Chains A and B, each alone.
Chain A
Amino acid sequence: MAIESEVLVIGGGLAGLTSALAAARAGADVRLVSAKQSTLRHASGLVDVLGYTPDGDGPISNPYDAIPDLPDDHPYRTVGAETVREALALFDDAVPSYRGSHTDANALLPTHGGTVKPTARYPAGASAGVASDPRETLLVGFESSVDFDALRAAAHLDAAGVPFDVRGATVRFPGDLRADAKVTRYAALLDANREVTVGGRQRPVREALAERVKPDLGDAERVGFPAVLGDDDPAGVRESLGDELGAAVFEVPMGPPSLPGLRLEDALFDALDDAGVGIETGNPVVDFDGGDAVERVYVEKNGARIPNAADQYVLATGGLVGTGVDSDREGVREPVFDCHVEHPDDRYEWFEDEAFGDHRFPRFGVSTDSGLRPETADGNVEFANLRAAGSVLGGYDFAAEKSGGGVSIATGYAAGRRAAEAVR
């Protein structure tokens, strides 16, 4: 026996979650297994579709218009622009707290480094910060939170030519938190509006924080904070800070560990729960049985192998940064099913000498047929019932193109839908 389902999704990132959701909404009985907690907590929370061409041209205004010109082996070409739209519609429905669906065009969002990033979907909490908005802006950093240098970020934005006045200020977070306080510590305090001690007096933290910012406010009509403004109730935190300050409040997306990423993870897991998907995280899939088709896979827990069987499988284990594509000096491989990963035999051809050169390694991954089924070196389908989604796919460079979220959502959606169709 084994733990059984109709569709088994392997991987808990954006691709795996979208895949499981798409398959479940199409009527399949779905389980998702993930080696670790979802990697979304490493993500900024912005969902890009396509910001730059593979040649580095951009920022692109409309990603859908650019898809037909992408190389043949790009995952967007495999699924087509219409599927990208459908997939994002599923995302918008599952995560109603996100903005950006009103237009095909990319939005421009300020990052914590002071650059401007073209992105397709962004959390509601970031929306008052869009760079196309001309309102005067104050960025606020915290002394103890060194990941966001508000003065430097403001200077960078100014140098980038944004159409608004922008200044930075650094304040002490009220209550004098420890120098390396966790993002969850700020969020929990703000969520509950707990009392903190300021000047020997106990005050609610939201009010006290607004007081600290007021002397720097000037004529600014909007104020950007690092993305630590609440975990359970970020809208409530922003609203009361905004009321105190008399200005719109937004969050600047941060690097890992990222609260917007955690919130996105929560929203997607809630959607999976509502769709009746079984979820298991914390243990890797290490092996499988099967010949032309996958019969079952084994989830390993400290030496114990737990069999999981399904009719259809989706491989969404991530790329080189995750655990979906592995490499050593001898070669590059996909470790779970040993699917073929095209790469030069000579490892000196995997990269270029220049740091930002046109490396090949970011595009390493499995190549697939039109139904997203991984293919062997000579172009045959590896397994009749296995599809791949997200950054385990080859043929694109998400970091250079700013296409990571979109490819994961689009291919996850397509793989999940097709898996569900195959069992119905």
Chain B
Amino acid sequence: MSDSRHSEFDPAVPETAERDPPGDSVVDGENPDLRPGADSCYKCSTCDTSCPVAEVDDDFPGPKFQGPEQWRLKDGDDSVDESVMDCSNCMRCDSACPTGVPLSQMHNTARGEYVSEELSKLSVEYVRDRLLANYRKSAWLASKVPRLANAAANFGPARWLAETLLGVTREREFPEFATETFTEWWAANGGAAGSKERARAARERRGEPADAEKQVAYFHGCYAEYNTPEVGRALVRVYEHFGYEVVVPQQGCSGTPMFANGMLADARRDAEINVSSLSDLVDEGYDAVASCTSCSMALRQEYPELFDIEGIEDVAANTFESVEYLRVHEDLAGELAEADVGADLAAEFAYHAPCHARNQGLDRQAVELFGDLDGVGVEDVGDSCSGISGTYGWKAEKYETSMEIGAEMFDHMEAADGETGLTECPTCAMQMEHGTDYDVRHPLELLEAALVD
């Protein structure tokens, strides 16, 4: 991108949602009609065999009921069945369906309808779910006083209260808050201007044209911002190593925890911010990359399925998982084959593919990619779901189910050679740590160790 062509555009200060009028939400419409999708279902029940909840919970009727059957039965005033709140939004049913029934879209829509029409706004469940869904808000507050927050969050009596009053299980350890958020680090390192300089230097070193159009917008999401900024830093360093200028646009939560809790209005509020700032960047030739597979899943699939916001399709078509993007545009496999990595991180990893990576076709990526990397072994611990599913496993009444689903993964991890976990999803990582006490890393951290000096 030459500066003269875009003289008024400053990627570091993207436009905000205020510019655009709020879009229509498909689910806010008077009569959302998902019947065409329901009619594609011929009841082969394949979706049911891919549902991790139905496998262990006899009360859960499974995706076929939650999606097409409920949509056919529900007519006029009939309400959504409350069992839809037991769906963990893993979205595995989507890729299982041979006829393309939009199952997760139906589930998200039904949960939204259930929460807005059936659930009392004064109920403990509603308050608890809203709090969990809006994790970003509490994380923002906690990040202002990370040490205090870390101490308070795992303080016994407080956890007892949280479980008793709010139904948040006290079995889990709260994630630790970083003392420096990702964006604080980003600003301290010069932000977009600093990245531009470093990327140009890298392109020169690599013998690429100085003005090559290599620019990405990083959607860091809440977790890399507040809890694991090391993942965000690894992304920046790896991308700059390949000569990419990184910008970090204004952004809210991707909406994943809100979809899963039926809080569609909250999700839309943040989606508007994200789509607005990312679509401006896409117009300028940027692609969006995310390090969390639930974030990329939301931007790529759930947004266009649930909301009608200007630019939403463009953002979806130009959003990529961060490692996938490099595989397409760079000779990542070639560079990894030349590289080796010291044992600082670990030599053997037990890799778990998150459900939301699976749905983007990325469930085997890490194993395939790191197969030729000297000094490192990555073993896939199988295709079971981790069971935590974002906020699901945090609910006191869902905790047991969540651990029962995860049991298979824990067993496979224990049986694997490595005692360090590897996954793209921060909540899967939480569950892996919880079930096995293993440290868990992100593939970007492994790439950074292998490729960046």
Contact = CB atoms under 8 A, between A and B. Distances in A.
Interface of A: 1-4, 31, 33, 36-37, 39, 41-42, 175, 177-178, 180-185, 187-188, 232, 256-257, 259, 262, 273, 276, 278-283, 299, 301-304, 306-307, 322
Contacts of B358: 281-282
Contacts of B365: 280
A39 B446 CA distance: 34
A332 B55 CA distance: 40
B58 A181 contact: yes
Given A178-B61, A276-B371, A42 B328 contact: no
Given A278-B364, A282-B360, 13 more contacts: A36-B96, A37-B50, A180-B62, A182-B49, A182-B62, A184-B49, A188-B56, A281-B358, A282-B359, A301-B361, A303-B313, A307-B328, A322-B98
B45 A36 contact: no
22 contacts: A4-B333, A36-B97, A37-B95, A39-B98, A182-B51, A182-B55, A184-B49, A185-B58, A257-B45, A279-B364, A280-B362, A282-B95, A282-B361, A301-B300, A302-B300, A302-B301, A302-B304, A303-B313, A304-B300, A304-B318, A304-B319, A304-B320
Of A31, A177, A279, A322, which is in contact with the most chain B CB atoms at under 10 Å from its CB? A279
A41 B46 contact: yes
A282 B345 CA distance: 31
Contacts of B408: 232
Contact of B49 (A178, A257, A283, A307): A257
A178 B55 contact: no
Contacts of A183: 48-49
B327 interface: yes
B10 interface: no
B92 to A, nearest CB: 9
B265 interface: no
Interface string B378-410: 001000000000000000000000000000100
B317 interface: yes
B55 A185 contact: yes
Given A273-B380, A280-B361, A36 B51 contact: no
Contacts of A3: 327-328
Contact of B317 (A1, A279, A304): A304
Q: Interface residue tally of chain B, by bracket?
A: 35 or more
Contacts of B97: 36
A301 B364 CA distance: 16
A283 B56 CA distance: 28
A39 B98 CA distance: 8
A1 B329 CA distance: 5
Contacts of A33: 361
A281 B50 CA distance: 14
Nearest to B357: A282
Nearest to A175: B58
Contact of B54 (A37, A182, A273, A280): A182
Contacts of A36: 95-98
Contacts of B49: 41, 182-184, 257, 259, 262
Contacts of A299: 361
B380 A281 contact: no
A37 B383 CA distance: 12
Of A33, A36, A282, A322, which is in contact with the most chain B CB atoms at under 10 Å from its CB? A282
Contacts of B62: 180, 182
B3 interface: no
A180 B360 contact: no
B96 A184 contact: no
A161 to B, nearest CB: 32
B102 to A, nearest CB: 12
B197 interface: no
A257 B44 contact: yes
